[in-house]
Amino acid sequence: MTTSEDKAFPGWRGTTILCVRKGDKLALAGDGQVSIGNTVMKSTARKVRPIAGGKVVAGFAGATADAFALFERLEGKLETYPDQLARACVELAKDWRTDRYLRRLEAMLIVADKTETYILTGAGDVLEPEHGVAAIGSGGNFALSAARALLDYEDDPEVIARKAMKVAAEICVFSNENLTVETL
């Protein structure tokens, strides 16, 4: 049975993006699975990438073309507000919420630089995560829980991210273990 939520956001189920910050290090990881309904269309997609000349890393959940449009807009905001990730994110969120074209984009983003991490949504949210961990996508809550549990036992955020993503991939059928990991 299809719910109204399934019709409104048909592709939002299929990914896991996780950001872990510990000390002065950061890891942003994304799985590689692209699913349409119950079919795996690709297993090696790259949903995490550096932007702004490598000063910022970003990952997305949702429609790929929509996410790339948002990445381009974010890079433009970062050119306007260099080294001001929070301001660039707020300006993008305002545009995303009010612009007729952008409002239709179905994606969520995690963006981070050396000192800040944010989750951005089309509802105008610019959220700074607690405990240095953020996650989005269908496997996001699994990865988030695993990463939070590992924070006290691991020092390296990349190790935490890889282990937590493995847990998420074992639980969420819309995520896999083909990871892309970017670090700062």
Active-site amino acid positions: 15
**Rounded Cα distance, 109 and 140, in Å:** 12
Where are the alpha helices (H) located in the chain, listed in sequence order?
Answer: 4-8, 64-80, 85-98, 140-150, 157-171
Beta carbons of 17 and 47 less than 8 angstroms apart: yes
DSSP 53: G
**Rounded Cα distance, 71 and 119, in Å:** 13
